[in-house]
Amino acid sequence: MPASIILLLPFFSALVILLGHRQLKGAAVLISVGSSIIAFLASLVFLATDDDNKLLLPFIDVAHFHAGIDVLIDKQSRGMMFIVSFIGMLVHIFSLGYMKDDEAKPRFFGALSLFMFSMTGIVLAGNLIMMFIFWELVGLSSYLLIGHWYQKASAAEACKKAFLTNRIGDFGFMIGILLLLGANAGNVNLLDLKTAFESGPLRPEAPGYSAGFTTVAALCIFLGAVGKSAQFPLHVWLPDAMEGPTPVSALIHAATMVAAGVYMLVRVSFLVAASPLAAEIIAGIGCITALMAALMATQQNDIKRVLAYSTLSQLGYMVMAVGAVAMAAKHGHGPEAPDPGHPAMFHLYTHAFFKAMLFLGSGAVIYACHHEQDIWKMGGLRKHMPVTFYTFAIGTAALMGFPWLTSGFYSKEAVLDAAFNSGWRVLFIGGAVTAALTAFYMTRLLIVAFMGKPRTDSAHHAQEAPMVMILPLTILAIFSIFSAWDGFANSLQALKPSHINAPGEGHTVLIASLIALIAGAGGAIFLYRGKDKDPVSIKLFANKFYFDEIYAVIVRVCQDRVAWIVTALERVFVDGIIARLPSAIVARLGAATRMLQGGHLQGYTFLLGGGVIAVIYLVVFVLPRMGN
C-alpha cells in the first residue's frame, strides 16, 4: 500500500496540474507540495515494510515474455525511496520561496511532480522494462524543468542538449535490455536475472556460457548510466542543466536524474560482477570522470557550475566504486558473494543530503544577491547571511570528507577502500587526487563567496533568505552530519558503511585521505585568502578541456555528411522517382490517348466498327461457351 501511494500520488498530482495549470493557478502549488509531503510520510511507513517482489499491473503477457508494473522492495529501494521523497519534499518547500514571483509557477510545480513520479518508478522497478519506461520519463521531466525559462536561449539550448545527449546512453540501455531478454527467455525481472547469473543458465559454469556476451550486455547497460549519470564522454549536458531554476538543480544533482544511473548500476551489480572486463572499464570511466570534473571545478566562477562539476566528480566516485568492488572480489579482497554497488549506494545516500543542501544554499545566495551567480561579485556574505553560511560550511565540510564529524567522510572512505583493494593502484591514486581537488575548489568557493568584504552592491545589500528557504537548509545540514552515523544508518537499513577486507594496510587509506584534505584546503586558503580576483588561470580547465568545442566540430561534420546523404537521396528518390516517375507515366498515357483522338472522321468510323464487331463476337461466341 505505501508503495502504491508513493508511486501514484505524484502521478495524479502532475496529471491534474499539467492539464489544468492555467485554471488552477495557486491551487496547483498546494496540490504539488501536499502530494510531496504525503509521499514522504508514506516513505516512512515504507521503511518498515518487509522485502517483497510483486506485480501490481501486468501490461504484456505473450508466450514467455512478461512485463508490467513490478515493484521490488528491499533495503536499497527502501533507503533510496526515503532519500527521493525526503529531498523532493524539501525542494518543494524551498521552491515556495524561490519561485514565488515566477508567472509560470503552476507549470513548474506540475513538472516537479512528474519528476518525482518518474524517479519513484525507477526506484521501485522490479524489472528492466519498467525501469526503462520510467527512465525515459525522467528524461522528459528534466527537459521540462531545465527548459522552464524557455524564453532564455541558453535554457532552451540546455534542455535540448540534455535530452539529446541522454538519448545516446538510452539507446545502449535499450540494446542491453534486449540482449538480456533474449538470453534469459524473455525474463528481465531483476531477481530472476540475478539468479540466472549467479546460479542459473547465465552463470560462467553453465553450458554455452559466453564471456563476450556478458561483457557486451554489461557495457550496453552501463552506457545508459553513462548518459544519465553524466559520465565521460557524455558528461557535457550536466553543467548546462544549471540554466534551470536552482531548486531543479538541487533535485537533479542530489536525488533524481543523475542518481538514477548509479542506482541502476547497483541494481545490475550481479552483471558487473560476472564480467571482469566490464568491471575494469566501469571503474576506469568513473575514475577519469571524477578526476577530470574536479580539475574543471577548480576554475569555475559560477557558484552553480562549481557545484555542478562537483556532482560530476562525485558521480565518478560512485561509478568507480561499482567497478572497483567487483574487481576487489576477483582479487580475493572482498566477500565471496559481493554486492558491487554497496559503497556506491552509501556515497549516493550521503551525497544526496549535502549536495541538495549546497545547491539550495547557492539558491539562497543567488536569491539574496539579486540573481548574481559569479562568486567574484559576492564576498562578505558570512555577516549578511549567517544561517546560509554555516549550513553551506557544513555541506562543504561533508563534501570534502571532513574526518569523523561528517557523513561524507565515511562514504568517501568506503569508496577509497574499494579503489585501494581493486588491484589497480591507479584507481586509488586518482581517487586520492580527486579528494585533494575537492577540498581545494570547495574551500576556494567558501572563501571567495562568503569571506572578506562585499565586492558589489548586490553582495553588500544581501539579506538572509526567508524562513521557508532557511528551514530546508537547516534540516539538510543536520543530515549532512548524522546520516552516516550507525544509529541513523541502521534505521534506514541501507546506509551502513560497507567494509571490504583490506590486505593488512588499514591505515593507508585514512592517511592518504587526511593528507589530501589538508593539502587541498590549505592550498586554497594560501592562494585565495584576501584576494579580489583569481590568482590562478588555467584556460584548459576553465574551458572544460574544450569538450564543447570538440563536440561542436564533430556534430557539424556529422550534420554536413548527413545533409549530403539526405540531399543525394532526395535527388534520386524524391525528385527522381517519387516526383518524376508518376509524371512520366501520366505523360505516356496522355500521349497514347491523344493517338486515339487524331481528328479524322474515317478513323473514328473505323474504331466504332471495330468496337461493334468485338461486342457481337463476345455475345455470339464467348458468352455461350462460358455458360456451358
Q: How many CA atoms lie within 13 A of 128 on its CB side?
A: 31
Q: Where is average pLDDT lowest: 187-196, 275-284, 422-431?
A: 187-196
Q: Where is average pLDDT lowest: 96-100, 216-220, 381-385?
A: 96-100
Helix axes 75-98, 246-254, angle to 10 degrees: 170
| Gap between the Cα atoms of 9 and 177, Å rounded | 28
479 CB-near residues (< 8 Å, 6+ apart): 353, 354, 357, 407
Contact, 304 vs 418, CB < 8 A? no
Contact, 242 vs 305, CB < 8 A? yes
Q: Where is average pLDDT lowest: 155-169, 298-312, 611-625?
A: 611-625
Burial 541-580 (b: 16+ CB within 10 A, else e): beebeebeeeeeeeeeeeeeeeeeeeeeeeeeeeeeeeee
pLDDT of amino acid 219: 95
Contact, 500 vs 325, CB < 8 A? yes
Task: State the CB neighbour count (10 A cutoff) for residue 302.
Answer: 16
598 CB-near residues (< 8 Å, 6+ apart): none
**DSSP-assigned beta bridge partners for residue 189:** 127
Please report where in the chains the cell 557486451 appears, as a residue: 216
Which alpha helices (DSSP H) does 298-424 contain, by range? 303-330, 342-368, 381-384, 386-400, 407-420
Burial 164-194 (b: 16+ CB within 10 A, else e): ebbeebbebbbbbbebbbebbeebbbbebbb
| Gap between the Cα atoms of 465 and 365, Å rounded | 8
Burial 352-370 (b: 16+ CB within 10 A, else e): bbbbbbbbbbbbbbbbbbe
| Gap between the Cα atoms of 225 and 260, Å rounded | 8
Contact, 508 vs 420, CB < 8 A? yes
| Gap between the Cα atoms of 138 and 140, Å rounded | 5
Q: What is the mean pLDDT of the chain?
A: 85
Q: What are phi and psi of 256, to 5 degrees?
A: -125, -100
Q: Which amino acid is at 582?
A: P
pLDDT range class, residue 583, cuts 50, 70, 90: confident
| Residue 501 confidence (pLDDT) above 60 | no
Q: Is the peptide bond before 535 cis (omega within 30 degrees of 0)?
A: no
pLDDT of amino acid 497: 46
Q: What are phi and psi of 56, to 5 degrees?
A: -80, -40
Cell of 99: 519561485
pLDDT range class, residue 374, cuts 50, 70, 90: very high
| Gap between the Cα atoms of 242 and 249, Å rounded | 6
Map residue 379 onto helix, strand or coil.
coil
pLDDT of amino acid 335: 45
| Gap between the Cα atoms of 366 and 377, Å rounded | 11
Map residue 406 onto helix, strand or coil.
coil
pLDDT of amino acid 98: 86
Task: State the CB neighbour count (10 A cutoff) for residue 522.
Answer: 14
| Gap between the Cα atoms of 524 and 518, Å rounded | 10
Tell how strand 52-62 and strand 65-73 pair up: antiparallel
Mean per-residue pLDDT, 131-137: 92
Q: What is the tens place of the pLDDT at every residue in 69-94?
A: 788 888 888 888 888 999 999 999 98
In angstroms, the Cα distances linking 584 to 422, 578, 590 are 71, 11, 10
Mean per-residue pLDDT, 508-520: 93
H-helix or E-strand spanning residue 69:
strand 65-73
| Residue 340 confidence (pLDDT) above 50 | no
Map residue 86 onto helix, strand or coil.
helix
Contact, 520 vs 438, CB < 8 A? yes
Which alpha helices (DSSP H) does 483-578 contain, by range? 486-492, 506-528, 539-542, 547-569
Contact, 116 vs 163, CB < 8 A? no
| Gap between the Cα atoms of 33 and 36, Å rounded | 5
Over pLDDT 70: what percentage of the chain? 88
pLDDT of amino acid 210: 82
In angstroms, the Cα distances linking 152 to 54, 244, 487, 545 are 45, 10, 47, 26
Which alpha helices (DSSP H) does 229-302 contain, by range? 237-240, 246-254, 257-267, 269-273, 276-297
**Highest-confidence segment of 283-287, 400-404, 484-488, 610-614:** 283-287
Mean per-residue pLDDT, 4-32: 84
| Gap between the Cα atoms of 433 and 439, Å rounded | 10
Contact, 395 vs 285, CB < 8 A? no
Burial 429-439 (b: 16+ CB within 10 A, else e): ebbbbbbbbbb
Q: What is the tens place of the pLDDT at every residue in 541-562?
A: 988 888 988 888 888 888 778 8
| Gap between the Cα atoms of 201 and 191, Å rounded | 14
Cα of 601 vs its chain's centroid, Å: 82
pLDDT range class, residue 314, cuts 50, 70, 90: very high
Task: Return the CA Rg of the chain.
Answer: 31
Q: What is the tens place of the pLDDT at every residue in 470-495?
A: 999 999 999 888 877 654 555 554 44
| Gap between the Cα atoms of 277 and 568, Å rounded | 42
Angle (CA) 188-215-165 rounded to 5° is 75
Angle (CA) 263-443-97 rounded to 5° is 65
What is the maximum span of the chain, computed from C-alpha positions, in angstroms?
116
| Gap between the Cα atoms of 15 and 35, Å rounded | 12
Cell of 319: 561509478
| Residue 336 confidence (pLDDT) above 50 | no
Map residue 67 onto helix, strand or coil.
strand
Contact, 104 vs 148, CB < 8 A? yes
CA distance between the termini of the chain = 78
Mean per-residue pLDDT, 218-224: 95
Mean per-residue pLDDT, 445-469: 90
pLDDT of amino acid 333: 58
